Amino acid sequence: MIKARVTVTLKNGVLDPQGKAIEGALGSLGFDGVGQVRQGKVFDLELATADRVKAEADLKAMCDKLLANTVIENYTIALA
Amino acid sequence: MKSAVVQLPGLNRDRDMIAALTKISGQAPVTVWQTETELPDVDLIVIPGGFSYGDYLRCGAIAARMPVMQAIKAKAEAGVKVLGVCNGFQILLESGLLPGALMRNASLKFVCREVKLEVANAETDFTRAYEKGQIIRCPVAHHDGNYFADAETLAAIEGNGQVVFRYAQGTNPNGSINDIAGVMNARGNVLGLMPHPENLIEAAHGGSDGRGLFASVLDVIAA
């Protein structure tokens, strides 16, 4: 079995209203000097294979087909 | 006019849409469940609003991968008219039938109220009953209606007249780029919009400004 982590983030230039709100909340908690905050999603997956090449290819397809909306989001894949 | 209304778990505006289509076309639409792979022979397919799959992952993301969407894509390619309202619009975007994406409202708040819409293109099969620049009333109810497209896509849809509805000046409820409220595909047979025209079709609703959208399609079908 291979464990993998997929991280999905908004592309540069895409407005992130939630990130902005979090940025404001951190400021109001007294955390000075916090620059831009961008929020995203993390997916931890378990794949029933030992083939790392196949796992990576499958994860890429999963990201393109469902986990990320590539109109607005980028993704990175990390195998454990 | 023969129409179909798609049903998915979590959609809740299907009954409103069925009522509007029945009242305006005089014919009740057939309902199509998400697992269907063949669609009946209809003139118009409607994906109504709601919260399909609880808006999990992204609004419309999971619904867009259901079997019925492959059948809808095939129908759209064959020229059948497809309309998506609210969550239906989100589903059409997620399925790639329309360009762009919808983000969380800039205010981060769920917005449920009436807005004014400008008919940006009155030469479509969905808007011919209106006039270009006409301002109509329409209710909105959504949390993720903030339309976004990259600069290249935006230039293309603006240039092709694919922006069909805009929030009239000063009424943009969600931060949508260029005040975009509804867009269609390049061919002009698939339209998606955030506002709910089906909820303003008769005196009991307090107005009938939304009726023109359905009347336009009816008119095209009858021609």
The percentage of chain B sitting over the pLDDT mark of 90, rounded to a whole number, equals 98
Predicted confidence (pLDDT) per residue in B91-145, tens digit = 999 999 999 999 999 999 999 999 999 999 999 999 999 999 999 999 999 999 9
Structure confidence by residue, pLDDT tens digits, B82-95: 999 999 999 999 99
Q: Please list, residue by residue across B84-103, b when 16 or more beta carbons sit within 10 angstroms of its beta carbon and e when fewer do.
A: bbbbbbbbbbbbebbbbbbb
Region of A67 on the Ramachandran plot (φ > 0 left; ψ -120 to 50 alpha; else beta): alpha
Give the closest of A17, A65, A66 to B106, CB-based: A17
Q: What is the mean pLDDT of residues B178-201?
A: 98
- In this predicted structure, what is the pLDDT of residue A61? 98
Report the pLDDT value the prediction gives residue A17, as an integer from 0 to 100: 87
Q: How many CB atoms lie within 10 A of CB A29?
A: 9
Q: State the CATH number of the domain containing residue A66.
A: 3.30.1280.10
Q: Summarize pLDDT for A41-67 with one digit per residue, the tens.
A: 999 999 999 999 999 999 999 999 999
Say whether B196 is catalytic. yes
From the candidates B36, B86, B114, B143, give the one annotated as an active-site residue.
B86
Q: Is B202 a catalytic residue?
A: no
- What is the pLDDT of chain B when averaged over all its residues? 97
Contacts of B149 in chain A (CB under 8 A): 71
pLDDT(B77) > 90: yes
CA distance B72 to B92: 10
DSSP string of B9-55, one letter each residue:
TTB--HHHHHHHHHHHHSSPPEEEETT-SS--S-SEEEE--B-GGGG
Judged by CB atoms closer than 8 Å, whether chains meet at B103 and A14 is answered as yes
Range of the domain at A72: 2-79
Write down the pLDDT at residue B107.
Answer: 93
Instruction: Specify the amino acid at residue B5.
Output: V
Give the pLDDT band of residue B159 (cuts 50, 70, 90): very high
Evaluate if residue B156 carries a pLDDT over 90.
yes
DSSP, res B100? S
DSSP A80: -
Do A15 and B101 make contact, defined as CB atoms within 8 angstroms? Answer: no
Give the separation between CA A36 and CA B121, rounded to whole angstroms: 38
CB contact under 8 A, A17 and B100: no
Look up residue A66 and give its DSSP letter. Answer: I
**Which of B58, B105, B107 comes nearest A69 by C-beta?**
B58
Q: For chain A, say whether B56 makes contact (Cβ under 8 Å).
A: no
Q: In chain A, how many domains are there?
A: 1
Contact, B133 vs B119, CB < 8 A?
A: yes
Q: Is B123 a catalytic residue?
A: no
Give residue B85's pLDDT: 98
Number of domains observed in the structure of chain B? 1
pLDDT in tens, A22-41: 999 999 999 999 999 999 99
Domain range for B132:
3-222
Phi-psi map region of B218: left, alpha, beta (phi>0 left; psi -120 to 50 alpha): alpha
Rounded to whole angstroms, the Cα distance separating B216 from B196 reads 16
Check: CB of residue B138 under 8 Å from CB of residue B212.
Answer: no
pLDDT tens by residue, B5-43: 999 999 999 999 999 999 999 999 999 999 999 999 999
User: Looking at this predicted complex, what is its ipTM?
Assistant: 0.85
- Which among B63, B61, B15 has a CA at the least distance from the CA of B35? B63
CATH code for the domain in which residue B205 is found:
3.40.50.880
